[in-house]
């Protein structure tokens, strides 16, 4: 049952409330994921939960520019994110990714921080945030620190939602990147089965640095970068071979699912994401 509800007014208050109510305390943001899990948990174990609501904390709201970074508050809803001009200008793939999450009603309530912390590899913001080199500012009783999103994913979000609060998501915005994004699901409005995003940047003398991020159901998002000659990705046949070889070499073992179907889909999505990105390469 719901054993308690605390509405925090600031981050320190939230951290203290979380600490004093462990092991029952959980951060509540939009609640679209947590409420479902709470019901499932109650049916199974009948354990109590104390919600620490962070939605009203002013510091965790809003989107702004600070130096070379876009700062996204974790309490920003997906709907707000999708309609923000700075996101449209510097990180439009976040808009595409958010648009896939549930329904309009859900996006009106669901938050960016909540999406990152659902501890689900198919959470839609993970792939584009990883591709854009996002950093995560977190707070716990030891203070504040910044982590690379890749590091947070590798640590599987240990402590997040219980003792650790995301206080900001920082997305580099010094330049508009050349990107391509593709997501595939098995059913309409379903979770991502597989998502691929590529970021293309100029590398040493005439070459291109191609960063590829893949994630989805059962596949924690991960990235790798290949330095290639432009012809390797611009020529249709070479691009196909490039994508197929990548999937075989890098994703085959990591995919947790070695069916021909999954591998086939993986190279096709990378191929299509590259095709989208290449439109921006002069
Ligand atoms: C019908 C339905 C369809 C859905 N479809 C999708 C989909 O297609 N793609 C997708 O990605 N998700 C989907 N979801 C999952 C979920 O709605 C979203 O991921 C949403 O963004 C979660 O945000 P929230 O604010 O509601 O999180 P909450 O439910 O409030 O919290 C989720 C988790 O994050 C923790 N948390 C929240 N904020 C913070 C913070 N600042 N710091 C640390 N921990 C925090 C909470 O403690 C909790 O563990 C779906 C859910 C439903 C019910």
Give the tens place of pLDDT for each residue, 221-259: 999 999 999 999 999 999 999 999 998 887 665 555 556
Beta bridge partners of 148: 135
* Nearest residue by C-alpha to atom 4 in ligand 1: 102
Contact 189, 103 (CB under 8 A): yes
168 lines ligand 1 (CB under 6 A): no
pLDDT tens for residues 28-69?
999 999 988 777 655 556 568 999 999 999 999 999 999 999
How much is the mean pLDDT over the chain? Answer: 92
Determine the pLDDT at residue 43: 58
34 lines ligand 1 (CB under 6 A): yes
Determine the pLDDT at residue 3: 87
126 lines ligand 1 (CB under 6 A): no
Rounded to the nearest angstrom, the distance between the alpha carbon of 97 and the centre of ligand 1 is: 14
230 lines ligand 1 (CB under 6 A): no
27 lines ligand 1 (CB under 6 A): yes
Determine the pLDDT at residue 201: 93
Q: How far apart are CA 266 and CA 135, in angstroms?
A: 26
**Which of 183, 34, 198 lies closest to 122, judged by CA?**
183
Closest atom of ligand 1 to 34 CA is 29
Q: Which residues of the chain have pLDDT under 70?
A: 40-47, 251-259
162 lines ligand 1 (CB under 6 A): no
Rounded to the nearest angstrom, the distance between the alpha carbon of 255 and the centre of ligand 1 is: 23
Closest atom of ligand 1 to 36 CA is 53
Q: How far apart are CA 24 and CA 19, in angstroms?
A: 10
Contact 227, 208 (CB under 8 A): yes
33 lines ligand 1 (CB under 6 A): yes
118 lines ligand 1 (CB under 6 A): yes
123 lines ligand 1 (CB under 6 A): yes
Determine the pLDDT at residue 218: 86
For tokens 């508050």, what's the residue? Answer: 73
Rounded to the nearest angstrom, the distance between the alpha carbon of 77 and the centre of ligand 1 is: 10
Closest atom of ligand 1 to 117 CA is 34
**Cβ of 134: how many Cβ atoms within 10 Å?**
24
Domains of the chain plus CATH, in order, are 2-53 (no CATH), 58-172 (3.30.465.10), 178-278 (3.30.390.50)
**Which of 140, 77, 63, 83 lies closest to 111, judged by CA?**
77
Rounded to the nearest angstrom, the distance between the alpha carbon of 27 and the centre of ligand 1 is: 11
Closest atom of ligand 1 to 37 CA is 29
Output the 3-class SS for the chain: CEEEEEECCCHHHHHHHHHHCCCCEEEECCCCCHHHHHHHHHHHHCCCEEEEECCCCHHHCCEEEECCEEEECCCCEHHHHHCCHHHHHHCHHHHHHHHCCCCHHHHCCCEHHHHHCCCCCCCCCHHHHHHCCCEEEEEECCEEEEEEHHHHHHCCCCCECCCEEEEEEEEECCCCCEEEEEEECCCCCCCCCEEEEEEEEECCCCCEEEEEEEEECCEEEEEEEEEECHHHHHCHHHHHHHHHHHHHHHHCCCCCCCCHHHHHHHHHHHHHHHHHHHCCCC
Contact 110, 78 (CB under 8 A): yes
**What's the pTM?**
0.95
Determine the pLDDT at residue 261: 75
């Amino acid at each position: 049952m719901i054993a308690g509800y605390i509405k925090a007014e600031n981050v320190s208050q939230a951290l203290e409330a979380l600490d004093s109510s462990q092991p029952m305390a959980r951060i509540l943001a939009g609640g679209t994921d947590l409420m479902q899990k709470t019901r499932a948990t109650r049916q199974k174990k009948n354990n109590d939960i104390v919600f620490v609501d962070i939605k009203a904390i002013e510091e965790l709201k809003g989107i702004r520019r600070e130096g070379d970074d876009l700062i996204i508050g974790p309490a920003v809803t997906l709907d707000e994110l999708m309609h923000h001009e700075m996101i449209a200008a510097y990180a439009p793939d976040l808009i595409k990714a958010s648009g896939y999450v549930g329904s309009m009603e859900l996006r009106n309530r669901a938050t960016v921080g909540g999406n990152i912390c659902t501890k689900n590899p198919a959470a839609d913001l993970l792939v584009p945030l990883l591709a854009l080199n996002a950093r995560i500012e977190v707070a716990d009783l030891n203070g504040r620190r910044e982590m690379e999103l890749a590091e947070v994913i590798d640590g599987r979000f240990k402590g997040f939602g219980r003792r650790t609060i995301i206080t900001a998501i920082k997305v580099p915005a010094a330049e508009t990147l050349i990107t391509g994004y593709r997501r595939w699901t098995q059913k309409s409005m379903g979770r991502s089965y597989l998502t691929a995003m590529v970021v293309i940047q100029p590398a040493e003398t005439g070459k291109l640095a191609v960063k590829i991020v893949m994630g989805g159901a059962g596949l924690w998002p991960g990235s790798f970068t290949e330095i290639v000659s432009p012809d390797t990705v611009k020529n249709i046949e070479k691009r196909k071979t490039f994508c197929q070889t990548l999937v075989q070499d890098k994703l085959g073992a990591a995919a947790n699912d070695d069916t021909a179907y999954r591998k086939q889909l993986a190279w096709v999505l990378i191929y299509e994401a590259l095709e989208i990105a290449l439109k921006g390469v002069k």
